[in-house]
Structure 1
């Protein structure tokens, strides 16, 4: 059974003409205008409902094809000394070639864009797709000082940034690196597994200073999410000490 195409399958009249030329294996520089016009008109007759502005473009092209066809059918007997009339298909061929170039470049750019989304440049900001969710920070840190937790995280980030600036090889910006992908769900599972194996873990255990900055941020967000869901609790005995992370609700003795 033959595949039937409708006008909605084409981006415009030039797209439809290129399809018909390729289908009939015609030379674009020597189009059989009579055959192409008949097939083009058949597509218009069989077209389903199309937006008015889009349909008008197809109708204008149909009129152009009929005009070229009529000129091709006229007898040509130039008198001595008269200039030879130019081929009436010349303008149409020029438009088709230009459209074909634009379409080719567009397809290449779309392909490059798809590939580039998997890479990022060194020292360039990378976009992270982290699902947004409404978080009540007061409820999350009800029994923990948010300032102390933030100061600890900020201290770790500053240390990581200082180490990066001390490396001379990071001056190279033109190298392309494969983007590391981390998700809050993966990091949440990692934290739960640590607590299940050891009974508890610590902030500096899950957020190591040698981690990439992106991984540190995602891990920190995963910890906040677990606190929000009350799957873990955190305790800090000293203002500058490590933060202990346990599963479930903290006992009253531990809180004291």
Structure 2
């Protein structure tokens, strides 16, 4: 059975057998000799000479404002020599920094030049180096802070949903007979679903007041239930009720109820003359009109 046959579904075994001159080596030779300096592990990685200087300063707990240039230069050159011995190619900026450190070291060893009393104090040869180191340190801290922030496609991933595939519109085959039949069906539906406007008959409160007075003109009394008309519906009940209340307010009619929930009797007051009266001041309201 081959190794590919024993691999899990969806996976493929990778042959990691070491090879020498293209031939697989199943076991190490007995006379194999590996020199002591043949294998080396280099863990420190620097972005540039300033990064290396900051590493040396932090490693030895040196105040960045009071840099011992001679000590730092010596350690810097030792690191360069170590990298050269490990066949690590050095960039030109590392060598330029080494020359600059050597220059600063030499300037600090020289005696100060005599100056007059009104002359300004000479600048520290380390001032420019310290300024560049502080600026680089601030930039490094800002870069580290930004790198620790959640980053898309590294710490979190956005959810993307593909839009549904839309089918292209295809024309439906049709003929003249089908179009005529469809048109006839639409016309029939339009005639069936035609809107029907219902208009209520206008009812006048003043006219209903006159009708009530005319009903009481002959015998002066009638039941309230006899005044309402079933064919007028709720609108007629509302108009009749308002007419009775208006006539009662103007003392044109009066009403009585002998027992609770009993029939209500409408009658003309004794001093009211029999006949039609227009003494009410009710407005002529037409309800239910458009």
Query: Is the radius of gyration larger for structure 1 or structure 2?
Result: 2
TM-score bin, normalised by smaller chain: 0.3 to 0.5
Q: TM-score normalized by structure 2? A: 0.38
Query: More helix by proportion, 1 or 2?
Result: 1
Structure number with greater CO (CA < 8 Å, separation at least 6) is: 1
